[in-house]
Amino acid sequence: MTTPAILRDVWLAAAAELESVGIDDARFEAEVLLRHATGLTRAQLYASLTDEVDPAAQDRFQTALAERTTRKPLAYITGTREFYRLEFHVTPDVLIPRPESELLVDAALDHMRQARIRSALVADVGAGSGAVGIALARHRRGVNLICSDVSREALRVARDNANRLLRRPNAAFVQGDLLTPLPGPFHCVVANLPYIPEERLDELEPEVAEHEPRVALTPGTRGTELILRLITQLPSRLHPNGIAVLEVDPGQESAIADAAHQMLPNADIAVLDDVSQRPRAVRIIAG
């Protein structure tokens, strides 16, 4: 059992250890791990800086800290990540939802409100934790959500999140390739599919390259393979005036928008920027 120590000392020592392995926001991350291990809120933590840490909590904290020093992502250690102001469960079977994907939810909700689409059938393709589709369903009444993913384990995580976060879980979970196994047509298709070219995987942070599922990161050599294939499925799967919002890596937007123009010549197609003003999604509204 660990010898009792003062909370502030434990925190500062942990921050130094995290910094030494190259973690940028070491003090904040040490705080998150401390709160996770002790169950204290932020306010309680600050009010107990000179208290001794409960030895059992300190053991839990040291285990979590050791995991983080291997560059395992914080979200896989705490098991949660906030997305669209909702707390999602995450495991190493799913990509950790990124803030830039909130753009997909905003764009889909805006269109459904403006077009007064009620009782919408929505597909979240490559759903992972279900973050995008579930956030959408949580903010729009009358949504029937279908999540698809090739990963059975990811769909288990998405189902668990839907059960916790949706008041009336009108959601189904289907394993398979893109839209192939799903019914339709859809009023809305959202997709954050893997788009990193294989050869760029080595350039990514160890948290991503070594811990997030490869099937969630890369579809092959070009990066655009899966998104382009999804676009070929859209003409028969989108209602007139239905919307598809597809996340892209900056630089892929022109190829994706061009393919969408070819497959859906009457559609209204736009490239959407993320909060950092980088092209992040292609929005397609069927004609």
Ligand X SMILES: C[S@@+](CC[C@H](N)C(=O)[O-])C[C@H]1O[C@@H](n2cnc3c(N)ncnc32)[C@H](O)[C@@H]1O
- In the complex, the residues that contact ligand X under the rule CB under 6 A are 94-95, 97, 101, 125-129, 131-132, 148-151, 154, 177-178, 192-194, 215-216, 226
Q: How far is the CB of 272 from ligand X (least distance, A)?
A: 15
Q: Which is nearer to ligand X, 26 or 125 (CB)?
A: 125
Compute the distance between CA of residue 190 and CA of residue 248 in angstroms, rounded to an integer: 12
Least Å distance, CB 284 to ligand X, is 17
Q: Is 170 helix (H, G, I), strand (E, B) or coil?
A: coil
**Which CB atom, from 37 or from 193, has the smaller least distance to ligand X?**
193
Q: How far is the CB of 158 from ligand X (least distance, A)?
A: 8
Indicate the residue among 18 and 228 with the shorter CB distance to ligand X. 228
**Which of 129, 126, 128 minimizes the C-alpha distance to 86?**
129
Angle at 200 between CA 197 and CA 201, to 5 degrees: 100
**Rounded distance between C-alpha atoms, residue 278 and residue 287, angstroms:** 27
Cis peptide before 279 (omega within 30 of 0): no
CB-nearer residue toward ligand X: 61 or 195: 195
Smallest gap from Cβ 51 to ligand X, in A, equals: 38
Q: How far is residue 14 from each of residues 80, 110, 114, measured CA to CA in Å?
A: 21, 44, 50
Considering the complex, state which of residue 58 and residue 129 has its C-beta at the smaller distance from ligand X. Answer: 129
Nearer to ligand X by Cβ, of 38 and 161: the residue is 161
Closest approach, Cβ 61 to ligand X, in A, equals 28
Of all helices (H) and strands (E), which one includes residue 149? strand 144-149
* Smallest gap from residue 161 Cβ to ligand X (A): 11
Whether the Cβ atoms of residue 240 and residue 287 lie closer than 8 Å to each other: yes
Q: Spell 117-135 as b/e; 16+ CB within 10 A means b.
A: beebbbbbbbbbbbbbbbb
Q: Give the separation between CA 184 and CA 110, rounded to whole angstroms.
A: 21
Angle at the Cα of 185 from the Cα atoms of 182 and 189, rounded to 5 degrees? 75
Q: Kindly state the smallest distance separating residue 8's Cβ from ligand X, in Å.
A: 36
Tokens 């292609």 sit on residue: 282
Half-sphere exposure of 265 (CA within 13 A, CB side): 1
Name the DSSP class of 120.
-
Q: How far is the CB of 128 from ligand X (least distance, A)?
A: 2
The residue (of 53 and 248) whose beta carbon lies closer to ligand X is 248
Nearer to ligand X (CB atom), residue 59 or residue 177: 177
